[in-house]
Structure 1
């Protein structure tokens, strides 16, 4: 069953993706969600509370995506790990990551745009950064993976890997990469993203 929280925050995500943070108002959310006037303000009295709920929704949805299609926990051993991952292991991780990025460029494009808008908003509201810190989970996974791959400094390598992958997504979403890369949602896009991620893994697992 879809909750009122999901209805309100999903409408807020759509508004932010289309119009930026300035387009986010209680009245606009009510209209987008086809709710009676005043509903959103009854649940979230202030704009700050509404933004916090939106950011939490983004964190929840991203966490679900990572669990379903990111770096699978049963394939990536707990950190630290003494036995190395094989080339085949790393190829599989690159393919899974490439597929996830492609999904965020297609079905998840609206959410990705809203996420970047919220990241910028967090520079003025540090409390939002704590919620957006859900990205810490992906860093833990990346550190474990690179430790198992034999990286000399897996903590820094893991952080660098996540930052580079995030930059790759941003480039395809809003940068020059959107003009030169294969169209999102195609086999060519997934292959190209996988190739880029595999190159990152190869460079950092040293």
Structure 2
């Protein structure tokens, strides 16, 4: 059952990334997933449940990638910056649809109070940041973790849809990863006071 739910959520992510939130319907997800009409509504009864399923899937996928990068880098801040840069660059290339869908879902929550609960999934990256900063000896990992996540989110947004996309190196290139790593490294130094 979880596998089918993931397939449907992945199809919904594609629908949101390509058609926007207005295009997110059970029927559109059924078509994208290549399943019989009504399959998506069997797993996600309402549109709200579908949006929540999309956000949960995005959080699970992001969590796995960030965790892998953090484990490979612990406890070196420079390696951590490179690992985070690699993840971000992936979210700008192969994971671009996921990133676009994430932002679309978050914006949808600002217009529909019933969806505000999806913001709770944002606690996972903050918990990851707190744990990483604790391991690196940060004096206030709670506050600094929030700041680091906000910085990384802003950097990603700027490179994906903001003015940063106009002059930054092309995503997927060594130059892109190097520039992202330098930015994350500077943020980590600022947070750690080094």
* Higher mean C-alpha deviation, range 10-19 or range 141-150: 141-150
| Mapped pair 1:141 → 2:140 | no
State the distance in 2 between where 1:73 and 1:129 align.
33
Q: 1:91 & 1:126 partners in 2: Cα distance?
A: 40
TM-score norm. by structure 2 comes to 0.89
2:63 is the counterpart of 1:63: yes
Q: 1:8 to 1:200 in 2, by over 3 A?
A: same
Q: Is 2:156 the counterpart of 1:169?
A: yes
Aligned partners of 2:130, 2:36: CA distance in 1, in Å? Answer: 47
Q: Number of residues paired by the alignment?
A: 193
Q: Output the TM-score relative to the length of structure 1.
A: 0.84
CA 1:38 to 1:197, structure 2 compared with 1: closer, same or farther past 3 Å? same
Distance in 1 (alpha carbons) for counterparts of 2:160 and 2:72: 27
Q: CA deviation at 1:47?
A: 1.2
Superposition deviation, residue 8 in structure 1? 1.2
Instruction: Quote the Cα distance in structure 2 between the aligned partners of 1:38 and 1:137.
Output: 32
Q: CA distance change for structure 1 residues 38 and 145 in 2, over 3 Å: closer, same or farther? A: closer
Deviations along 1:71-111, whole A, 9 cap, x unmatched? 228824xxxxxxxxxxxx21111111111100111111100
**How far, CA to CA, are the matches of 2:26 and 2:131 in structure 1?**
42
**Whose helix proportion is higher, 1 or 2?**
2
User: How far, CA to CA, are the matches of 2:58 and 2:119 in structure 1?
Assistant: 8
Structure 2: gaps spanning 5 or more residues = none
Distance 2:132 2:52 in 1: 31
Bigger mean CA deviation after superposition, 160-169 or 133-142: 133-142
Give me the CA root mean square deviation. 2.2
